[in-house]
Structure 1
Amino acid sequence: MILRVGDPPLAGKSYSIRHGVYAILPGAAGLLVTHQQEPTPEFQLPGGGIDPGEHPIAALHREVFEETGWRIAAPRRIGAFRRFTYMPEYDRWAEKLCTIYIADPVRPHGPPTEPGHTALWMPVDVALEMLGNDGDRHFVHQVFG
């Protein structure tokens, strides 16, 4: 059974499955996170949806690069969670199945290419307070205690 976080599904709503991959990226300066400005400003673990036909690890590399500008190495799956949410950018209700990895941030190649994203290093204790969803916080807490 996959951990469910956040609000339960709403009665009468139809949810489509949205598979996604997200990375915990530790370093000497803390945790590399992304700040997404739209649709609601929030701090997040870098990551996102898997495109049709895309391998999850390829999606993880692509999403982390788009949202942070960093290349990563040695991703290792540590768990998964699901949450039910409305995705205004796609105008749909989704059951997001989020697979979480831990990986090594290797080096930056420039700013994020994803519009509205800013990459920043955050101390782990601050990230545990600031990350925008319970699933992200749960897995960061699992890794760092």
Structure 2
Amino acid sequence: MGVSDYIAGLRKQIGHDLLMLPSASAVVVNGAGELLLQRRSDDGRWSIPSGVIDPGEQPAEAAVREVFEETGVRVTVERLAGVALHPTGYPNGDRCEYLNVWFLCRPEPGQEGAARVADDESLEVGWYAPGALPPLNDYERLRIETTLDGGETAWFARSGADVPMR
């Protein structure tokens, strides 16, 4: 889907300067314990499905929407897994800091086989066993590990903590 009209409008006003944005992500785990990942078209890296929360949209809604838009898989949110602020820089020079909220999600019945490239934000999508993941950066690993290792309490970045860049 690319950049929303909302963000494009903000960028017209501020150029490449720092923009703080709310975002949501989903660590999607199927019945076999595999993780749903996408290879992003903007930087070619593997990632969990994620994106900016639209104005008026709840974070859990955004996570569900992003998973479907990027992978074609319909999911249900099980619990909040974590929250952190992290910086990101883009090849075009745009700078952002995302307040990212991530959730543990499960595919709806019959959706495990639905994984496919569903929009122009993904180059590839697929299910991966935790021990056989494609190359991931430290921020992706942080969100996956805190979700899989977590209990009922969400992980959060402590005051002064360095969170890896995307």
> Which TM-score applies when normalising by structure 2?
0.68
Q: Give the Cα separation in 1 of the matches to 2:148 and 2:82.
A: 14
C-alpha spacing 1:48/1:113, structure 2 compared with 1 (3 Å): same
Q: Give the Cα separation in 2 of the matches to 1:85 and 1:139.
A: 15
Q: Which has the larger radius of gyration?
A: 2
Secondary structure of 2:74's partner?
Answer: strand
Which residue does the alignment assign to 2:68?
65
Which residue does the alignment assign to 2:57?
54
| Number of residue pairs aligned between Structure 1 and Structure 2 | 129
- String of CA shifts for 1:32-53, please: whole Å, max 9, x gaps: 11111x3221110011111122
Deviation at 1:82, TM superposition (A): 2.0
Which residue does the alignment assign to 1:102?
104
Match of 2:120 among 115, 119, 123: 115
> Which TM-score applies when normalising by structure 1?
0.76
Deviation at 1:29, TM superposition (A): 5.6
Secondary structure of 1:112's partner?
Answer: coil
- Identify, as 1 or 2, the structure richer in strand: 1
Q: Give the Cα separation in 2 of the matches to 1:143 and 1:102.
A: 6
Q: Give the Cα separation in 1 of the matches to 2:66 and 2:127.
A: 17
Structure 2 unaligned residues grouped into runs of 5+ = 1-15, 150-166
Match of 2:142 among 129, 134, 138: 138
Q: Give the Cα separation in 2 of the matches to 1:116 and 1:56.
A: 19
- String of CA shifts for 1:40-92, please: whole Å, max 9, x gaps: 21110011111122221221111000111000013311111222122346x52
Q: Contact conserved, 2:115 with 2:126, CA < 8 A, in 1? A: no
Deviating runs (4+, > 4 A) in structure 1?
Answer: none
Structure 1 unaligned residues grouped into runs of 5+ = 1-12
Q: Contact conserved, 2:115 with 2:125, CA < 8 A, in 1? A: no
